[in-house]
């Protein structure tokens, strides 16, 4: 089949494609790409180069993976998944991403579209006021170095203790909203300075806060949906997409410099300097892993404070508390992270960059309330096209290290998008289609136009047909806040 590479690409099954180890010198395992034929044909050249570069990294297990939303990224393709033996393998910031623990959070409500529509303008104004967005935005939570150290080590639990949420929220977060082994001593002062005032902020780029509606005709598995608290009937839900902001970015920047020197010391060579890495068990590798966990915990805390502010905004507009409005957390899942997980091969350091964990039924890492059906998987589309709630499968654990897609994936650069449409024009068009958008920057809004992204429905169909995730419900946007 002809696609954007001279490498041989073999179809293993309907939606699974493989590049053999013979296609690039140094490949230790094959590279696999998930997607329909149309998606594979449209993949940019960088995806093929990057996923095969990843397949050359020391200690890699089974194969290097790229999900159907994959596109060119820093080092790893965005949508990339790779697992490395803890004893012989490496850890790489390029396989985690600059925005450590960028992730998704979904909050359900008992409200319906009929109740929210008349107050939507006021609601979006209140949300825009309470949840700062944009480059350099500062949050309302003031803290000193000591309290920020606790955020780094306790994650979302720190927020609950401060009154920013409910204790039961913690049950419905990946890793309970806190990764162990976080040591603030491995984080630079510059990173702390960048992150200390950003708790409860969205940031910019493709991050957003979106009010959505779930209609009966877009419910694909009502039984699983009901387990997640999703009932349809034009139910209102809220989705949040953001991460560790400037703090995580600085952690990545700091350790990429450290790893460039460390590679020479350990005799490691890589196909691309953006894949700078160190042995996982080395001092440098463990220091980065610890600092990454600090950033990941800060991201969990960031989304938790935002959740508190969302509940406060809804309460102000509708005159009832978040509890009375049924504003329960459905789930919070990371899609830029590395974690140690157990597989038949043993303990592996699984890197997911623009890829989401998708645990199947029975996984001990799931909260008891979801163990019978599997993990909620939250996949964001563009602000024009809607998003999806999926559920993990046992096949994902067998085929993809328990991983799946995280969103729709870009097809157009931000510069190209801005040439295609103006922010003001896009905002007006979306309003005419019943989607109210508030943005800090009209230029930034144009970068996120729907035309810049893949068709989310086709990407979702790819992972469902491959058996690694199942559709539960589609979430249609009615209000969006962008940085």
- The residues carrying an active-site annotation are 406
CA distances for 38 relative to 3, 4, 354, 447, angstroms: 9, 12, 20, 24
Q: Which residues are annotated as a binding site for Mn(2+)?
A: 99, 207, 241, 335
**Surface-to-core class of residue 114, CB atoms within 10 Å of its CB (0-12 exposed, 13-18 middle, 19+ buried):** exposed
Instruction: Enumerate the known binding-site residues for GMP.
Output: 206-210, 335-336, 380-383, 387, 406-409, 482
Give burial (CB, 10 Å; 0-12/13-18/19+) of 42: middle
Chain-centroid distance, C-alpha 330: 15
463, two tokens: 């992972």
Distance, CA of 162 to CA of 234 (rounded, Å): 34
Phi first, then psi, for residue 396 (nearest 5°) are -60, -40
Q: DSSP of 245-273, one letter per residue?
A: HHHHHHHHHHHHHHHHHHHHHHT---SSG
Output Rg (C-alpha) for the chain, integer angstroms. 21
Question: Are 202 and 483 within 8 A, CB to CB?
Answer: yes
The percent of the chain in helix, strand and coil, each rounded to the nearest 5, is 40, 25, 35
CA distances from 239 to 75, 80, 140 (A): 28, 23, 21
Tell me, what DSSP letter sits at residue 97? -
Phi, psi (5° rounding) for residue 377?
-120, 120
Q: Is 363 exposed, middle or buried (0-12, 13-18, 19+ CB in 10 A)?
A: middle
∠ CA 456-461-462, nearest 5°, is 100
Between CA 56 and CA 424 the distance in angstroms is 45
Describe the crossing of helices 283-318 and 245-266 by its angle, rounded to 10 degrees: 170
Distance CA 398, CA 393 (A): 9
């Amino acid at each position: 089949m002809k696609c954007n590479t001279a490498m041989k690409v073999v179809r293993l099954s309907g939606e699974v494609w493989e590049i053999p180890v013979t296609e690039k010198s140094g490949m230790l395992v094959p590279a696999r790409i998930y997607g329909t034929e149309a998606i594979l044909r449209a993949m940019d050249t960088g995806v093929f180069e990057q996923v095969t570069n990843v397949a050359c990294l020391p200690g890699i297990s089974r194969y290097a993976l790229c999900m159907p939303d994959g596109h060119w990224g820093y080092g790893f393709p965005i949508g990339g998944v790779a697992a490395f033996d803890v004893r012989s393998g490496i850890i790489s910031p390029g396989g985690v991403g600059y925005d450590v623990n960028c992730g998704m959070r979904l909050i359900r409500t008992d409200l319906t579209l009929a109740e929210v529509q008349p107050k939507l303008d006021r609601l979006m104004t209140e949300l825009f006021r309470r949840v700062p967005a944009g480059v350099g935005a500062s949050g309302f939570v003031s803290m000193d170095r000591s309290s920020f150290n606790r955020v780094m080590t306790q994650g979302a639990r720190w927020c609950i203790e401060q009154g920013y949420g409910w204790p039961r929220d913690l049950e419905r977060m990946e890793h309970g909203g806190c990764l162990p082994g976080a040591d603030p001593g491995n984080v630079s002062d510059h990173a702390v300075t960048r992150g200390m005032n950003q708790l409860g902020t969205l940031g910019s780029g493709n991050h957003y806060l979106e009010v959505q509606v779930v209609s009966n005709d877009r419910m694909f598995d009502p039984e699983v949906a009901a387990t997640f608290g999703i009932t349809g009937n034009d139910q209102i839900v809220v989705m949040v997409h953001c991460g560790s902001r400037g703090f995580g970015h600085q952690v990545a920047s700091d350790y990429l410099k450290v790893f460039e020197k460390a590679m020479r010391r350990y005799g490691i060579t890589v196909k691309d300097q953006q894949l700078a890495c160190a042995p996982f068990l080395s001092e440098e590798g463990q220091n980065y892993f610890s600092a990454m966990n600090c950033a990941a915990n800060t991201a969990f805390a960031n989304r938790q404070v935002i959740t508190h502010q969302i509940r406060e905004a809804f309460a102000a507009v509708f005159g009832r508390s978040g509890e009375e409005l049924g504003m329960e957390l459905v789930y919070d899942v990371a899609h830029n992270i590395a974690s140690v997980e157990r597989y038949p091969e043993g303990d592996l350091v699984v890197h997911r960059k623009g890829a989401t964990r998708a645990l199947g039924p029975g996984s001990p890492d799931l909260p008891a309330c979801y163990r019978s059906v599997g993990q909620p998987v939250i996949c964001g589309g563009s602000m024009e096209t809607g998003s999806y709630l999926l559920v993990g499968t046992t096949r994902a654990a067998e085929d993809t290290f328990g991983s799946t897609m995280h969103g729709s994936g870009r097809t157009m650069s931000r510069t190209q998008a801005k040439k295609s449409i103006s922010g003001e024009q896009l905002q007006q068009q979306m309003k005419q289609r019943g989607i109210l958008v508030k943005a800090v920057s009209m230029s930034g809004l144009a970068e996120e136009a729907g035309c810049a992204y893949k068709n989310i429905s086709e990407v979702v169909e790819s992972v469902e047909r491959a058996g690694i995730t199942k559709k539960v419900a589609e979430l249609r946007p009615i209000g969006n806040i962008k940085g």
